[in-house]
Structure 1
Amino acid sequence: MRSMEKSIMALLIVVIALSILLQGATAVETSPTVIVVGAGMSGISAAKTLVAAGIKNIIILEATNRIGGRICKTNFAGMSVEIGANWVEGVGGNEVNPIWKMVNKLKLRTFVSDYDNLTANTYKQVGGLYKKSEAQTAFGAADMRSEFSTNISVSMSAHRQEDISILTSQRLTNQVPYTPIDMAVDYYTYDYEFAEPPRVTSLQNGEPLPTFSNFGEDLYFVADPKGYETVVYYIAKQFLTTDADGVITDPRFKLNKVVTEIRQSRSGVIVKTEDGSIYRAAYVMVSVSIGVLQTNLINFHPDLPQWKILAIYQFDMAVYTKIFIKFPYKFWPTGNGTEFFLYAHEKRGYYTVWQQLERTYPGSNALLVTVTDDESRRIEQQPDSDTKKEIVEVLRNMFGKNIPEPTHILVPRWWSNRFYKGAFSNWPIGVSRFEYDQMRAPVGRVYFTGEHTSQQYNGYVHGAYLAGIDSAKIMIRCIKNKDCKYHAMPKGT
């Protein structure tokens, strides 16, 4: 009997051992090869590129409850508006913007933005419109400064000279903007594009801009009920399974997963999320914004090396805020040549750039005003009721005291949102291709992507899309060809 019991016991031990081994084997087999952190444009673009290369064993962890990241629609007074990226920038050139291709394929509703008539639509701080001749003088001076800055930038790049700010190049012309109208035109020229002022923006990045040089100078405003995020969904649905209604049901895609820790070793990575979940993989692709990387939301173990930390903190995460405001009726000019108008205030960037939305949202009685940088941060920290009062005061200075009170206001808060910490990256003074290579460079099994890793197109939707492809290709070389060395261009090249 005892020998039989021993035999049974031995058999049980063998069964248990085999069970453990099989469980371990299953865990290895089902463990994803790559974890992608973030389901914005770059993360989805990178994931699609990996799957297309045969690396289908992936998991996408998205902190929010949706795809799209900083491409985000919302309902405002019955309209579907974009609180994040809104334009396809760079259309009509020799090269075709890849985002423009997809927007047209998806038949999204777009409108070309025409800023040419701003000289007839620039308002004084108090007292209505400037004379057109006075505005033409201000815009002409801005064009001359911009042309001079472009020539300086091209010359400096050709001779590999150190970068300077756009403001420094303006000082070389002895024409630094200081009157309200000159500051308004300068704000429209630079801050409205880069979300930061010329004193911090790189000359060699800002003049000339590769987006417009390569893809064309036209800009198209997306105003479609389906949302600009449709482009991101279109890419995602090319490799993620959906149900009959087109809803993504792929088990590899997980929402509401806030990554808080990335731990790597020679054998792989472990990713932990805020809800206590733990995921294992061979590699991880981090697509969060540069603003998030500059916070402690994600802890890296071991710590990122000093060269990587220095690269991260050399970049700026700019804040760009589009405020929507609706009225019971229109009191501003409408029709051709009136879509955009400027407000010249003694405080630079104080509710400067306006867009009336009658063409894009007929009958909406709505305006869009853009603020950036310090004004964005200030406005995010005050009640919307205070912002509404400020806006109404500005509009009364432009259009008279008898305008009505607004019925709705929408103030996005990208800077305050811990999952974004801003709108997009800006290239500051002194950052070169070397720093971009450092920013994009993997650290062991941890790879990085995002619009901030695109040297030519940082800050743009097409930059995010192309960066995802580029970063994925670097990872693919490592996984498939065992070529895991990253070659950064030397400083100064």
Structure 2
Amino acid sequence: MKINLSLCVLPLVIISSSRFVQAETIHTKVAILGGGVSGISASVNLTLAGINDFVMIEARDTLGGRAQNVKFANNVTIELGCNWVQALGSNPINILREKHGLVTAPTNYSDIAYIDDKGKKISNGFEVYNKFQDLYDKVDQLGVKRLKNNLVDLSGRTALSLAGWFAKTPLEEAIEYFTYDWETGETPEVSSMMYVANNDNSNYGTIFGPDSDNDRMDIDQRGFRYIFLQEAAKVFKENDPRLKLNSLVKTIEYDENGVIITTDKDIIIADYAISTFSVGVLQHRDVVWKPEMPDWKMEGIFGFHLATYTKIFMNFPKQFWDDNQFTLYANPTSRGLYSVWQNMNAPGYFPKGTDNNIFFVTVTQDYAYMVEAMTDDQVKEQLMDVLRKMYGDDIPEPTDFVFPRWHSNPLFRGSYSNWPIGEMNQHHENMKAPLHNRVFFAGEAMSKDFFGYLQGAWISGEETATHVIQCIKSSCPKAYYYPEIQNNKIPGVTVNKREI
């Protein structure tokens, strides 16, 4: 397929808000599709390389992607999206935290109150928690070893079972959920043992240095996205014509000669494009590709997972829960449902005495889909039933209530990625491989080592921009894909790669 650029210089008339408008045709060297963390990182690196001939297309009226916050209760900023600087040391997100003075609080995952459905404190919770943590560390080490030795992958559930862990009590299920699902966004049954273990090791061990094994939760009233907006401000000046906000990408037409992007406002003709759409958006085909992406690429995309991690915030007239950072509810009937609660009144977090008493709970995967299908009042009623089991019938009603609907939002389709059992390294290489060395792919899901993390998004944007810079200034770096996976011609786990 050859793109007929002569057709695209003609003005296009589209319908917007029930009236005809004339679309602008824009010519540029690079089009960055999406203004999230990866897109911002790509724009920063293009600029540093002296390439300023690019546009960024963002569907929302602001940058930051899944870094989103709102004013809640008595004018306090809470994070609906990413909330933690996960791994310190040389983690680029930690470097941005320090550079821009982001206010954070240290997270102590062992500072937990354990409560059953009768409202009683569970005395052996800390003992069971430590036992599981020790076992999970060994599973991680085994997963990294199996990956290095090119052994067959196992599910997280299989790995835990082989290690001798069988959750038999509501407490054990709650602790397992807190350590596994609450981190990966999905259950051990669907998660890869090897790649999840490598992900943990990359973030908290071998790459960012010995001081990296800590997390800090953002409590900055400017919002987590402040650090990314500050970086973007170095690239885009006020009213910068290269920044196309409130512009929804509708179609992407590509071949070996270039890329044409049609939005609901403009036609953009580019030599190169960097797609930062989430893997969920790619899976849902929310953007039309012309031609369709090849089977080898779609197989990698459809095989990956975008997990949904939903925080449900409530503010109360007073605090009736413990001062611990976390409270684990041992749900007797549904493993992990409304089990992980967090106290924003904990020491070092939001100060007391400001009329804000925020207690929030997180749900993932099927539970996240469930709450998205309910009304706010229905979700609130369920949560209050649980809290009354935990703390008694005389607790007050919440004064404020909010949660995002990440999965059903067509701009996101979820929160962050998780490597599922069955997705091979070759699938992942195919997922991030460029098309004709014209359309490149960035985003946290495209990072083998850092998928699911902000650092994965930032590093992926940087790496992808580097490839595009090389294409512009000299010649594109060699890129490969694996055409034989879809035809099941896999001798063991080795398939022949082919250059793009």
Q: What TM-score comes out, normalization by structure 1 length?
A: 0.88
Contact 1:89 1:218 in 2 (8 A): yes
Q: Give 1:41's aligned residue.
A: 37
Q: Give 2:468's aligned residue.
A: 475
Q: Name the aligned partner's letter for residue 91 of structure 2.
A: N
Say whether residues 1:339 and 2:325 are aligned partners: yes
Q: Spell out, residue by residue over 1:269-303, the C-alpha distance to the aligned partner (whole angstroms, 9 max, x if none).
A: 1111134x211111111001000000121111111
Q: Give 1:255's aligned residue.
A: 245
Q: Name the aligned partner's letter for residue 76 of structure 2.
A: M
Q: Give 2:51's aligned residue.
A: 55
Which residue, out of 210, 217, 236, partners 2:213? 217
Contact 2:26 2:268 in 1 (8 A): no
Which residue, out of 106, 110, 115, partners 2:100? 106
Contact 1:351 1:371 in 2 (8 A): yes
Q: Give 1:202's aligned residue.
A: 192
Please, which moves more after superposition, 171-180 or 281-290?
Answer: 171-180
In 2, distance between residues paired with 1:414 and 1:154? 31
Backbone CA RMSD of aligned residues: 2.1
Q: Shift in Å at residue 488 of structure 1?
A: 5.4
After TM superposition, the structure 1 = structure 2 runs for residues 349-428 of structure 1, keeping only pairs within 5 Å, are: 349-359=336-346, 360-363=349-352, 364-428=356-420
* SS class of match (1:96): coil
Q: Spell out, residue by residue over 1:400-443, the C-alpha distance to the aligned partner (whole angstroms, 9 max, x if none).
A: 11101111111111011000000001011133432332121101
Q: Shift in Å at residue 320 of structure 1?
A: 0.1
Say whether residues 1:440 and 2:440 are aligned partners: no
After TM superposition, the structure 1 = structure 2 runs for residues 80-119 of structure 1, keeping only pairs within 5 Å, are: 80-91=77-88, 95-118=89-112
Q: Spell out, residue by residue over 1:287-336, the C-alpha distance to the aligned partner (whole angstroms, 9 max, x if none).
A: 010000001211111111111100101100100001110111111122xx
Which residue, out of 214, 231, 237, partners 1:235? 231
In 1, distance between residues paired with 2:277 and 2:250? 12
In 2, distance between residues paired with 1:37 and 1:380? 27
Q: Give 2:498's aligned residue.
A: none
Change (3 A) 1:30 1:406: closer
Q: Spell out, residue by residue over 1:327-371, the C-alpha distance to the aligned partner (whole angstroms, 9 max, x if none).
A: 11111122xxx1111011120121111111114222311112111
Larger Rg: 1
Q: Name the aligned partner's letter for residue 339 of structure 1.
A: Q
In 1, distance between residues paired with 2:92 and 2:165? 38
Q: Per residue, is there more strand in 1 or in 2?
A: 2
Q: Give 2:449's aligned residue.
A: 456
Q: Give 1:67's aligned residue.
A: 63
After TM superposition, the structure 1 = structure 2 runs for residues 299-318 of structure 1, keeping only pairs within 5 Å, are: 299-318=288-307
Q: Shift in Å at residue 136 of structure 1?
A: 3.3
Q: Name the aligned partner's letter for residue 480 of structure 1.
A: K
Change (3 A) 1:460 1:492: farther
Q: Give 2:18's aligned residue.
A: none
Say whether residues 1:295 and 2:284 are aligned partners: yes
Say whether residues 1:150 and 2:140 are aligned partners: yes
Please, which moves more after superposition, 428-437 or 95-104?
Answer: 428-437
Q: Shift in Å at residue 223 of structure 1?
A: 1.0
Say whether residues 1:175 and 2:165 are aligned partners: yes
Say whether residues 1:141 and 2:131 are aligned partners: yes
In 2, distance between residues paired with 1:256 and 1:294? 22
Matched positions, count: 452
Q: Give 1:127's aligned residue.
A: 119
In 2, distance between residues paired with 1:371 and 1:472? 35
Q: Name the aligned partner's letter for residue 404 of structure 1.
A: P
* SS class of match (1:415): coil
Q: Shift in Å at residue 220 of structure 1?
A: 0.5
- What are the ranges of 5 or more consecutive residues in structure 1 without an aligned counterpart? 1-19, 243-248
In 2, distance between residues paired with 1:333 and 1:169? 34
Change (3 A) 1:38 1:154: closer
Contact 2:147 2:195 in 1 (8 A): no
Q: Spell out, residue by residue over 1:112-152, the C-alpha distance to the aligned partner (whole angstroms, 9 max, x if none).
A: 0112232xx11112232111xx2134224312431331243
Q: Name the aligned partner's letter for residue 443 of structure 2.
A: G
Q: Spell out, residue by residue over 1:70-114, the C-alpha distance to the aligned partner (whole angstroms, 9 max, x if none).
A: 0011111111111000000002xxx41111111122112110011
In 1, distance between residues paired with 2:144 and 2:94? 28
Contact 2:26 2:267 in 1 (8 A): no
Q: What TM-score comes out, normalization by structure 2 length?
A: 0.86
Q: Spell out, residue by residue over 1:202-225, the C-alpha distance to the aligned partner (whole angstroms, 9 max, x if none).
A: 111222511111332211111111
* SS class of match (1:443): coil
Q: Name the aligned partner's letter for residue 341 of structure 1.
A: T
* SS class of match (1:207): helix
Q: Name the aligned partner's letter for residue 39 of structure 2.
A: G
